[in-house]
Structure 1
Amino acid sequence: MPAKPGKAVALDVLDVAGNLQLTQGMIEAFERAHPETVSKVTYSKAPAPDLAGKIKAQQQAGRVQIDLVLTGTDGLAAGVEQDLWADMKPFRDRVGDPDYLQPAADMAELAQGKGTAIVYYPSGPLVEYDPDAVKSPPASPQALLAWAKKHPKRFQYADPANSGPGRTWLMGLPYLLGDKDPADPEKGWDKTWAYLKELDKYTAPYASGTTETMKNLAGGQVDMIMSTTGWYINPRALGTVPKKMAVGRFDRMTWVTDAQYAVVPKGVDADTMSAVLQLIKWILTPEQQAKAYDDGYFYPGPAVKDVPLSMAPAKSRKVIEEYGVPDFDRWIDEFPKKPSLPAQAQVKAFDLWNRNVAGG
């Protein structure tokens, strides 16, 4: 592996997680600062469920055209399951040893050396609702079920395999319901699967992604959806969802933390890999991490320590001052945090949800 490319390389970056909202400014800054390493960056986007098939087809054809994938735990898990990602462990010294926040370090471990955590947030599960229609937000899963029974088809969440709020809800329920083993969706989630099957009778049709639920809430098709810190702030800041929408939490909640990752498909050449490693190291510096506050999409956003909001660009500070929720910081400190399921368990959870809940 060369210390740097023989000549500047063109990078093709695929985003399946909305991550470019957080990192495109970091990548563009690297491109400007290091023209000897990167000559050009091309960006594309795709839904997370399409990722594994897209990469696998390129690998089988012997023509890997995507050099870097920005993904959430869903795409990461699918790629780990099918052995699509390059092993990053031998190159750890190239990236350095990021001074991760502890929950972000726990999320980094989920990559099993097949990727690098680049942004982090405590996620949820949270409920977002129209205060004109929901006078008292549910403070427990049982209260949510009772509300849904009284207001059929007015509550919605998205397919967990393609939605941060959807999978955070799925993985947060075992803690809220006191299930036997929150880490084992196959043998430890009896209460969770029973609850979701019952809730299924009263929910609106499952959305294909989070954005669909936001549009339905904004348009009045539903009154309440599952959300997260970032998904509550960002669509309101962008005007996708009216500012008046409110947010609530469950009593005695456990945060299911989330992260997004940089992964490299197997088959990328050595020069390109050396450039990608330099880029990842750049992204994990505090100066670049401060840009992860963005417009609140992944609030807070930075994965490393000592990156306060005061370091963020002025636009980010203004958005979070206007659309943020002071209670979020208090709740983040107050309630315990658990990492998302490991890759294989997450794939199993999505499969069981498809068969036992959506398929029912």
Structure 2
Amino acid sequence: MKSTSRALKRLSICSSIVLGLFAASVQAAPVQLNIVDVAGDLALTQKALENFQKENPDLVSRITFTKAPAPQIPGKIQAMQRAKRVDIDLVLTGSDALAAGIEQGLWLKLLPDLQEQLPGVMENYTPNAAAMQELAHGQALLVVIGNAGPMIEYNPAKVKDVPKTPDELLKWCQANPGKFIYARPANSGPGRAFLMGLPYLLGDKDPKDPVNGWEKTWAYLKQLNDCIPYYPGGTGAVMKELGDGSRDMTATSAGWDINPRALGIVPEDFKVQPFTNTTWVDDAHYMAIPKGVSEEKQKVLIKLLNYMLEKKQQAMTYDSGYHFPGPAVKGVTLADAPAESQEVLKKYGRAEYDKWLTEFPHVLPLDAAVMVKAFQKWDTEIGALK
């Protein structure tokens, strides 16, 4: 009996060891990553993300990419978290969905909690990128920066007297109803820059307080609303209508000027004009990990975040000018970009940007909680009028 007992004990120990080794092997298996883009960021980063998988087949078996409207993703993630089944591993977002996610507590805290696993992140950012990174409150990492606005983009064959002030834009719009549009700010970089840039242009009491400090801005947008037919759900739809001649003018930004012309969506000869004495509202894209993603995947994702901030991958974000300029880390220039990116920017970029982007001051977008209030107020008091 004693020998039988000892044999059973040895068998139990051996079984535990085997199960432990099996569990370890399962845990070490490559993972599949599900990445959702709500900012058009894949135009800049998809190739680098795919390269990470190719270079690390032991970590990642496959990456799936999905695109979604920014306003939809916070509610979707919140529902997954309540169900304790999060199947979105990484979100590529602008400041819109980032802000909503911060407000709702959706994102995993990266800094300073995981600082040791993300060495040198803040030190490697350019000064503008480091400032924009502060808006993430440590809950995401900035991956590209640029795309300053607001500006006016127009068809030079139709618009001869180009508005240079908000008042001139309003008068032009009233004289040409239906020919100027902009997209819903909660899902559009240029729409967001237009909304947040107006308080500076109009001399509002407090450009950082959309609820109590934007009296002139809200009054202006209500007047402008009378000559705007509707508000598209995203900038892509705006550019298609501008390109096909349905509209003659829109609010734009540097990247949304360059990229649609490079892609042939907007004619090459269309022009842009900044407002007189404008203030640039900078924009950025971020990488955010939803709370509830498994620890196994978190470890892989942290390595992915580090990879995406290396100079080689950052140089690829020049792309076709979509988020001009793109790179967020120090020491990356257009000369480091792929040859096709250099060719596109040489042909479709504008020499004026060097002057304009240094001539006028730059400001950060609204902070997360305040930006959400601005979107809600616009949706209720402006967007709801259509």
TM-score category (smaller protein)? over 0.9
Measure how far apart 1:7 and its partner are. 3.1
CA distance in 2, matches of 1:77, 1:285: 25
CA distance in 2, matches of 1:270, 1:6: 12
Contact 2:222–2:382 (Cα < 8 Å) also in 1: yes
Q: SS in structure 2 opposite 1:40?
A: strand
RMSD over aligned CA atoms reads 1.2
Contact 2:147–2:255 (Cα < 8 Å) also in 1: no
Q: Counterpart of 1:261 in structure 2: which amino acid?
A: Y
Equivalent residue runs for 1:1-360 within 5 Å: 6-89=28-111, 90-98=113-121, 99-360=124-385
Q: Counterpart of 1:94 in structure 2: which amino acid?
A: Q
- Higher alpha-carbon deviation: 34-43 or 129-138: 34-43
CA distance in 1, matches of 2:205, 2:147: 23
Q: SS in structure 1 opposite 2:114?
A: helix
Contact 1:103–1:337 (Cα < 8 Å) also in 2: no
Count residues with an aligned counterpart.
356
Q: SS in structure 2 opposite 1:234?
A: helix
Contact 1:103–1:338 (Cα < 8 Å) also in 2: no
CA distance in 2, matches of 1:180, 1:93: 42
Q: SS in structure 2 opposite 1:276?
A: helix
Q: Counterpart of 2:115 in structure 1: which amino acid?
A: R
Contact 1:84–1:266 (Cα < 8 Å) also in 2: yes
Q: SS in structure 2 opposite 1:266?
A: coil
Q: SS in structure 2 opposite 1:185?
A: coil
Contact 1:77–1:342 (Cα < 8 Å) also in 2: yes
CA distance in 2, matches of 1:102, 1:18: 24
CA distance in 1, matches of 2:147, 2:233: 23
CA distance in 1, matches of 2:222, 2:96: 22
Q: SS in structure 2 opposite 1:121?
A: strand
TM-score (ref. length: structure 1): 0.96
Contact 2:148–2:282 (Cα < 8 Å) also in 1: yes
Deviations 1:187-233 (A, max 9, x none): 11111111111111112311111111111111211110011101011
- Higher alpha-carbon deviation: 262-271 or 32-41: 32-41
CA distance in 2, matches of 1:318, 1:123: 22
Structure 2 unaligned blocks of 5 or more: 1-26
Q: SS in structure 1 opposite 2:144?
A: strand
Measure how far apart 1:122 and its partner are. 4.4
CA distance in 2, matches of 1:101, 1:335: 19
CA distance in 2, matches of 1:284, 1:359: 40
Structure 1 unaligned blocks of 5 or more: none
Deviations 1:72-93 (A, max 9, x none): 1111111111111111121122
Give the structure 1 partner of residue 24 of structure 2. Answer: none
Runs of 4+, deviation exceeding 3 Å = none
CA distance in 1, matches of 2:198, 2:307: 36
Give the structure 1 partner of residue 14 of structure 2. Answer: none
Contact 2:315–2:333 (Cα < 8 Å) also in 1: yes
Larger radius of gyration: 2
CA distance in 1, matches of 2:260, 2:139: 31
Q: Counterpart of 2:120 in structure 1: which amino acid?
A: D
- Tell which has more relative contact order, 1 or 2 (C-alpha 8 A, sep 6+): 1
Measure how far apart 1:250 and its partner are. 0.6
